[in-house]
């Protein structure tokens, strides 16, 4: 057991202490990931707090956060381990100058091994097991998923030249995906799974209170309600919690104490990410009163 949390309520309380508010589902998912020592795959629309969950978990546990950002073309040498060729060549030249002979066993040792995030998580020696965030796994090639199977299933990495490294304490592994492609069943099978929905208005307001202390209560209330309506529009990119926080921060920075159409339009770049979305939201603003009778954008 790497942490003293014995229930989902504990998880919720500890994460609350680091300003990350979770609902029942998320608390249960994180609690099970910690208790069963299994990787957790988080999916959801962009901006619902998948990456933030891993960061908050690391903060709450007092653990190191090791992050592997996935991208197309990510290889084993960037994710698992790599040999330090320069040092190997230097060692060879040095041995030659001393008229010594080197064998494979001399060159492929831990001394010449460069740890990449996954091996780093396995060999971590700190007092608390690290949190390994494998971010946006759907961006990596599907072949890359196969590289992770051994690690996800057995918390180990096999290096042909040396042998198998098994984690003494299983790292807490959080994978995130935006579903830009389907992940393989074999990867899903090795993970617990949680789909994160957009937060309920009440919880969204709670999150905003924590994230943007400068925002007034009327501003938070109307902004939450407005974002809920915006998500119902036909948008390329419906605003997530991250965009909402950015937007309310922008409004607070502009000195807005309440939501008025002029401020919505001025700060819209934080909420709308394409010209089409911007036009749609402005049209919605012009068609609504936003609680300000008679005022339109």
Partner 1 sequence: MSQPLLRGVDRAAFAASLTAKLRAGGVAVGLTATEDLTRALAASLPTSPSRLYWVARVTLVRRQSELAAFDAVFAAVFDDAVIAIGRANRTPQRPPDASPGDALMPVPRANQDEADGAGLPWVTLPSVVALPDDPSATDADQAVPLRVVSELEALSRLPFEQLSEAQTQLLGRWLEQQLAGWPTRRTRRRRPGPGGREVALRPTIARSRRTGWDPVELVRVRPVRKPRRVVVLCDVSQSMQPQVTPYVHLMRALVLGVGGEAFAFATSLTRLTTVLRHRSAVVAVEQATAQVSDRYGGTRIAASVQALLASHHAEAVRGGVVVIGSDGWDSEPPQDLARAMARLRRRAYRVVWINPRAAAPGFEPLVGTMAAALPYCDDLLAADTFDSLAAVVAELGSLSSRA
> Least distance in Å: CB of 139 to partner 1?
10
> Per rule CB under 8 A, is residue 2 in the interface with partner 1?
no
Long-range contacts from 115-118, C-beta under 8 angstroms, 24+ separation = 115/81, 116/68, 116/77, 116/78, 116/79, 116/80, 116/81, 116/82, 117/66, 117/67, 117/68, 117/79, 118/68, 118/79, 118/80, 118/81, 118/148, 118/151, 118/157
Task: Tell me if 187 sits within 8 A of 144, measured CB to CB.
Answer: no
Q: Which helix (H) or strand (E) holds 13?
A: helix 8-17
**Cβ 41 to partner 1 shortest distance, Å:** 8
User: Which of 125, 127, 163, 180 touches partner 1 (CB under 8 A)?
Assistant: 180
Q: Please identify which residue in the block is written with the tokens 């010209």.
A: 275
- Is 88 an interacting residue with respect to partner 1 (CB under 8 A)? yes
What is the strand order of the sheet 65-69 is part of? 65-69, 131-135, 172-177, 40-44, 192-196
Say whether residue 94 binds partner 1 (CB under 8 A).
Answer: no
Per CB under 8 A, the segment of 30-38, 208-216, 221-229, 244-252 that binds partner 1 is 30-38
| Segment near partner 1 (CB under 8 A); pick from 53-61, 124-132, 168-176, 230-238 | 230-238
164 binds partner 1 (CB under 8 A): no
Q: Tell me how far, at minimum, the Cβ of 82 lies from partner 1, in Å.
A: 8
By CB under 8 A, is residue 147 in contact with partner 1?
no
Q: Is 29 in the site for partner 1 (CB under 8 A)?
A: yes
As a whole number of angstroms, the distance between CA 231 and CA 247 comes to 14
CB 290 within 8 A of CB 264: yes
Which CB atom, from 104 or from 255, has the smaller least distance to partner 1? 104
Quote the CA–CA distance of 52 and 23 in Å, as a whole number: 14
Q: Please identify which residue in 14, 21, 28, 58 interacts with partner 1, judged by CB under 8 A.
A: 28
What residues have CB less than 8 Å from 19, skipping those under 6 apart?
Answer: 56, 210, 211
Under the binding rule (CB under 8 A), the answer on residue 179 touching partner 1 is yes
Q: DSSP secondary structure string, 188-233?
A: HHTSEEEEEPPPPHHHHHHHHHHH-TTS-HHHHHHHHHHHHHHHTS
Contact map string, positions 127 to 146, toward partner 1, x by CB under 8 A: --------------x-----
Q: Given candidates 18, 65, 159, 192, which one binds partner 1 under the rule CB under 8 A?
A: 192
Q: How do beta strands 40-44 and 113-115 pair?
A: unpaired
- 254 to 283: interface string for partner 1, x by CB under 8 A: ----------------------x-------
Place of tokens 């090639």: 141
Closer to partner 1 by Cβ: residue 153 or 221:
153
Minimal distance in Å, beta carbon 49 to partner 1?
A: 16
Q: How far is the CB of 211 from partner 1 (least distance, A)?
A: 25
Sites of contact with partner 1 (CB under 8 A): 6-8, 24-25, 28-29, 31-32, 35-36, 38, 41, 43, 71-73, 75, 77, 82-83, 85, 88-89, 92, 102, 104, 141, 178-181, 185, 188-195, 234-236, 276
């Amino acid at each position: 057991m790497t942490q003293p949390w014995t229930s989902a309520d504990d998880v919720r309380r500890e994460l609350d202490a680091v300003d990350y508010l979770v609902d029942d589902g998320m608390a249960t998912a994180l609690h099970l990931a910690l208790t069963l020592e299994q990787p957790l795959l988080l999916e959801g629309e962009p901006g619902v707090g998948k990456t933030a969950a891993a960061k908050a978990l690391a903060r709450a546990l007092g653990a190191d956060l090791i992050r592997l950002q996935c991208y197309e073309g990510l290889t084993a040498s960037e994710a698992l381990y790599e040999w330090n060729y320069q040092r190997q060549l230097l060692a060879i030249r040095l041995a030659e100058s001393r008229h010594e002979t080197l064998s494979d066993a001399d060159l492929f040792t831990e001394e010449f091994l460069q740890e990449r995030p996954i091996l780093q998580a396995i060999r971590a020696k700190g007092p608390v097991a690290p949190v390994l965030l494998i971010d946006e796994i759907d961006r990596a090639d599907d072949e890359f998923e196969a590289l992770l199977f051994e690690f996800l299933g057995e918390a180990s990495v096999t290096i042909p030249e040396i042998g198998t490294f098994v984690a003494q304490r299983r790292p807490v592994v959080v994978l995130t995906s935006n579903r830009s492609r389907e992940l393989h069943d074999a990867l899903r099978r090795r993970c617990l799974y949680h789909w994160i929905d957009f937060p309920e208005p009440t919880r969204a307001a709670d999150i905003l209170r924590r994230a943007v202390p400068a925002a007034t209560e009327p501003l938070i209330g109307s902004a939450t309600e407005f974002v809920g309506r915006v998500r119902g529009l036909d948008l390329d990119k419906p605003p997530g919690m991250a965009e909402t926080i950015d937007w309310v921060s922008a409004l607070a920075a502009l000195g807005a104490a309440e939501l008025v159409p002029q401020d919505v339009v001025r700060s819209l770049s934080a909420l709308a990410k394409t010209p089409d979305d911007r036009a749609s939201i402005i049209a919605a603003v012009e068609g609504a009163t936003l609680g300000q009778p008679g005022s339109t954008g």
